[in-house]
Amino acid sequence: MDRWVIACVAVSVLASSGCYYKRPDVEQMYAKVAVGESRAGVVKDLGEPTLTQQSEMFYIYDDPEKPVRLRFVLDDKDIVVAKYIESKKDLAKKAEETQGNVPPIQALPGEEPRAYPGGPIGRFQPKPGPETPVTPAPPAKP
């Protein structure tokens, strides 16, 4: 009989702990951070970031219902210049679609298209046509 009581208590504790899970209000946390806020202000509002890369801070929430990633882009003075809320499902889908694909090379305005990434730009190549002869410098006087 004691085993049944212990088993029932254990099952009820496990079941009740799952019922009290409260999803973090990520949208409200995202709205707290304003463009122009300092890095220290973001850390104060949201805590330490999950991941930091050069000028970006990431907060990753693996919520079972709606996993998201908050991304904050910082300038050289550690001020937020852009913020994004990204669904992890959309990020995974985008990564799968672009895996192994090189983005097309876009020529800048007024520039000739390049044949391959890192290819020479037309304005740095010699112009076609006859080469102009190089005149030698006059001899130095002793």
99-125 tens-digit pLDDT: 767 666 676 676 666 666 566 555 555
In terms of residue numbers, what domain contains 45? 22-95
The per-residue pLDDT of the chain, averaged, comes to 77
Q: List pLDDT tens digits, range 20-51.
A: 656 678 888 888 899 999 999 999 999 899 98
In a domain, 101, yes or no: no
In a domain, 106, yes or no: no
Which strands, in side-by-side order, build the sheet including 56-61? 51-53, 56-61, 68-74, 80-87
Any domain includes 46? yes
10 assigned to some structural domain: no
Structural tokens at position 48: 């330490």
Sign of the dihedral defined by the CA atoms of residues 108, 113, 119, 120, in that order: negative
50 occurs within a structural domain: yes
Residue 107 lies in a domain: no
The pLDDT of residue 98:
78
CB 69 within 8 A of CB 86: yes
Task: With respect to residue 133, please indicate whether it lies within any of the assigned structural domains.
Answer: no
What's CA 36's distance to the chain center, in Å? 18
Number of domains, the chain = 1
Residue with the two structure tokens 């190089």: 134
45 domain-assigned: yes
Give me the CATH number covering residue 49: 3.30.1450.10
